[in-house]
Amino acid sequence: MSLETALLIGVLFGCATWLVLHHSFVKILFGFVLLSNAANLFLLSMSGSPDGREAPIAGQTAGPLVDPLPQALILTAIVIGFGVTAYLVILLYRLFLDQKTTNAAELFAEQDTSERT
Amino acid sequence: MNGPRSYLFDRLVRVVFFLLNGVALYLLLRGHNLPGGGFIAGLASAISLILLSLALGGEAMRRVVRGDPVLLAGAGLLLALGTGAAPLLAGRPFLEHFHVHLSGVPLLGEVHAGTPLLFDTGVYLLVVGITSKLVFVLTQSTRGLRALVAAEERRYSSPLESPIDEAAAREGENHRESAHEP
Amino acid sequence: MNLVILPVLLPLVTAVTLLFWGRPSPARRVLAATSAAAQLTVALALLARTLEAGWLVLPVGAWSARLGIVLVADPLAAVMVGLSSFTALAAVLYGFAEFRTALEHPLRLTLVQFLVAGINLAFLTGDLFNLFVAFEVMLIASYALLTLEADDWDVKQAFPYLAVNLTGSTLFLCAAGFAYRLFGTLNFADLAARAAAQPEDPRVIALALWLLVVFGLKAGLFPLYYWLPNSYPILPAPLAALFSGMLTKVGVYVLLRTFGTVLPHGLTGVHTLLAWLAGATMILGVLGALSRNFIRGILSYHILSQIGFMVLAIGLFTELAFAASIFYIIHHIIVKSSLFLIGGTAALLSRTDNLDRMGNLWRHAPGLGVLFLLQALSLAGLPPLSGFWGKYAILVVGLEQGEYVLVALAIVASILTLVSMLKIWNAAFWADAPEPAATQQDPRGRWMNRVTTGMVLVSLAVGLGAEGVFRVAQQAAARARDQAGYLRAVHAVVTKDAPDRP
């Protein structure tokens, strides 16, 4: 089980990196979405209970329980990822409207960073 | 809304809209100790609004959420913060919550109510407000329609970008020149 | 105890109130300024209390550290909160001078308050995941501010900033998950206690390196700094001052916090790596500054060079080095923010930011010239200005540790800093302008100068009262490195779940 999860996380991170390194805005966008999903899966895979440590739950616990903390973390991370992805979509859309291109390489093609306007 | 509408989709969404909001309310109320809560309920409501805008156009969403959704979100944030800050007045730690447990309430039986519900309601409003605004702006602007009404434009956009009055426009020109290079 | 939440709560409530208020008006400005002043007062009260008590712990929701989140204020956190409130106040006031009310962007003040809330939460949190949340609040506000008043060219520069920070956040999230798997907790105090039990574990070193990458990216450390010098210059002057003063310093603060409070002190290899990365950042940053030809670009590269000094002190890792780093942070935030403000005023008066087309400012605005000279010399490290004492302390520690190469690099970087500052001075203030009528008088400049003068006076006070400030820095350093005391303070707090830990 843990080997499959590890492989899946690796594949997801690999694909995400591959996509992010593209020039196309859409591929970059999907890359970042995939990246945050890979990170969430990574968090989930960290949620086992090694070394017999108890989950942070108040009160008596009847029987073994799944550690809820990584799930709470993932939920938070999803919320944040949702907001940032929405911002990224709008930013890319505005870049497309301004520059009439969806190619990141063209975007920075003739840039001279020492001059502002 | 461009293009022809689907009759089936249209009718379906009118029903599903209420169904989804019922589910959202259910999720919101049970969220304290069971799966659910303000965020997920807010997403359910937001999905109902998105469906509505897909089926009936962006204006239909405006008829449901009157006024500016961002202000709804602001009110939600204020409610959540207020619930968190209320214990400060009693000298208790931030975000501490309190409950009442009532039994023998007619129709409902046992009721377990507490301040987390208020907090969740705040989160619910925040999520609904932000998500619906986001989708509305995105759908309107990709269709080339106006995403903001005039009142909102004054609230969100720079006067230098879209001058409201003549004086501001002149000042804006001056400023542009002085901030950048002549 | 509840004083600890106020630096986060006040900006949030102010932000929402300003959002509801909508259109800019003088009364709205009064509210924003009052709130910023109130935040500064709270921060100073917090500093006074922490200097007395050591640690103030707030268990959020009255849950203990095992179950919930704690906010912890120690002198270091309180100093940082004070600096962020001070910078925010100055940026807000300067922004008032820059625009008439009718021209102010309605969302600017709101977003600045959200930004400050995120920054303050990052300083006060006692929990690794909450730190992630604070970073995200701060970053999302900063993305919005970066593109808020941007034109087409500016928006292009925001894209690399977003991409880099998005990647950094993902890495941070993974690091938090890794830390949880390793130690079964995310609380700083418990992390420290459990990490100390297994100092030789290679996984602890891996975690340290991982966090070094994440926070080095935020702080702008070599080789992860390329996003910074192109994104900061697109901001309007007051926001650039706030960003350059606070955002990268959050990264430095977190490096201090993780290496001082959380991770075991025996990770010598990682500390050495940190020191050498800092040395490289110092030199490359200042060389980048020399290559630029517009004021904000030069100043943006200087941020990197100065980050190098602070991180070098962290890497040297004695208690005195920590104190020197904290003193340097105090000095740097005030000086760097005021330099951005001065640069903004100079650009307003000359109607350009490009050194080739500026000139003669000394004759038209002698007051501005004096302010610039004081802050530039302070940045370069001339006595008795504040920069000298910070650099002196770091160099002394470096010599004590026998790191002669790093000390030499630091001295070279200081000299080059002076050279690049003189470049601005010569071109913008001293030389004749290529077009005689380029410089103009502007009534706004006078109000801007008043705000800047306030900052310069504080900066001078830091330099002249260096002994007192350094004593505060020493106390902050001692508390930040006292892992046992931190653990005791976090666990001593009264909560509603039974204290069931061993």
Which tens digits make up the pLDDT trace of C220-247? 888 888 888 888 888 888 899 999 889 8
A neighbours by CB contacts (3+ pairs under 8 Å): B, C
CA distance A57 to chain C (A): 7
- Which SS3 state, helix, strand or coil, does residue B2 take? coil
Residues of B (85-124) whose Cβ lies below 8 Å from C = 85, 88, 91-97
Contact C61 B97 (CB under 8 A): yes
Higher pLDDT: B71 or C434? It is B71
Contact A91 C159 (CB under 8 A): yes
Q: Look at residues C260, C340, C323 and name the one whose alpha carbon lies nearest to residue C466.
A: C323
CB distance C154 to C162 below 8 Å? no
CB distance C152 to C57 below 8 Å? no
Q: Among C9, C99, C149, whose Cβ lies nearest the Cβ of B85?
A: C9
Write out pLDDT tens, residues C146-168. Answer: 888 877 777 888 888 899 999 99
- Average pLDDT on C97-119 reads 87
Contact B180 A90 (CB under 8 A): no
- Average pLDDT on B120-147 reads 84
pLDDT at C440: 67
Q: What domains appear along chain A, each with residue ranges and CATH number?
A: 2-48+67-107 (1.10.287.3510)
Of the listed ranges A94-98, B172-176, C68-72, the least confidently predicted one is: B172-176
Backbone φ and ψ for C127, nearest 5 degrees, come out as -155, 135
Higher pLDDT: C379 or A53? It is C379
Q: Establish if A32 touches chain C: CB-CB under 8 angstroms.
A: yes
| pLDDT interval class at B182 (50, 70, 90) | very low
Q: Establish if C153 touches chain B: CB-CB under 8 angstroms.
A: no
How are beta strands B109-114 and B99-105 bridged, if at all?
A: antiparallel
Closest residue in C to B176 (Cα) is: C351
CA distance A114 to chain C (A): 6
Contact A42 C67 (CB under 8 A): no
Q: Residue B173: which residues within 8 A CB-CB, separation 6 or more?
A: none
Give the span between the Cα atoms of C8 and C387, in whole angstroms. Answer: 30
Q: Among A79, A90, A93, whose Cβ lies nearest the Cβ of B39?
A: A79
Contact A107 C159 (CB under 8 A): yes
Q: Establish if C42 touches chain B: CB-CB under 8 angstroms.
A: no
pLDDT at C236: 86
Chain C residues in contact with B182 (beta carbon < 8 A): 351-352
CA distance between the termini of chain B: 43
Contact A91 C233 (CB under 8 A): no
**pLDDT over 50 (residue C363):** yes
How are beta strands C70-73 and B109-114 bridged, if at all?
A: unpaired
| pLDDT interval class at C90 (50, 70, 90) | very high
Buried b (16+ CB within 10 A) or exposed e, C27-66: ebbebbeebbeebbebbeebbebbbeebbbbbbbbbbbbb
Q: Mean pLDDT across chain C, nearest whole number?
A: 87
CA distance C240 to chain B (A): 14
pLDDT at C140: 92
**pLDDT over 80 (residue C1):** no
**pLDDT over 80 (residue B154):** no
Handedness of CA C331, C336, C339, C340 (dihedral sign): negative
User: Residue C3 carries which side chain, given as an amino acid letter?
Assistant: L
- H runs (alpha helix) in B1-149: 7-30, 38-56, 58-64, 69-89, 115-142
Q: Residue B39: which residues within 8 A CB-CB, separation 6 or more?
A: A75, A79, B123, B124, B127
- Average pLDDT on A69-95 reads 88
Contact A56 C153 (CB under 8 A): no
Give the span between the Cα atoms of B82 and C325, in whole angstroms. Answer: 38
Contact A84 C159 (CB under 8 A): no
A-B contacts at Cβ under 8 angstroms: 14
CB distance C266 to C205 below 8 Å? no
Contact B179 C347 (CB under 8 A): yes
Chain A residues in contact with B180 (beta carbon < 8 A): 116-117
Q: Establish if A100 touches chain C: CB-CB under 8 angstroms.
A: no
Contact C163 A20 (CB under 8 A): yes
Residue C419: both structure tokens together: 């050279």
| pLDDT interval class at C88 (50, 70, 90) | very high
CB distance C55 to C489 below 8 Å? yes
Q: Look at residues C331, C451, C325, C307 and name the one whose alpha carbon lies nearest to residue C384.
A: C331
pLDDT at C234: 82
pLDDT at C348: 82
Say if residue C223 is preceded by a cis peptide, omega within 30 of 0: yes
Write out pLDDT tens, residues A29-80. Answer: 999 999 999 999 998 888 765 555 666 666 656 666 677 788 888 988 998 9
* Whole-complex ipTM: 0.90
CA distance C194 to chain A (A): 13
Best mutation site among A29, A90, A96 for testing chain B: the one with the most B CBs within 10 Å? A90
Of the listed ranges B142-156, C74-88, C172-186, C364-378, the least confidently predicted one is: B142-156
Chain C residues in contact with B181 (beta carbon < 8 A): 351-354, 357
pLDDT at B2: 52
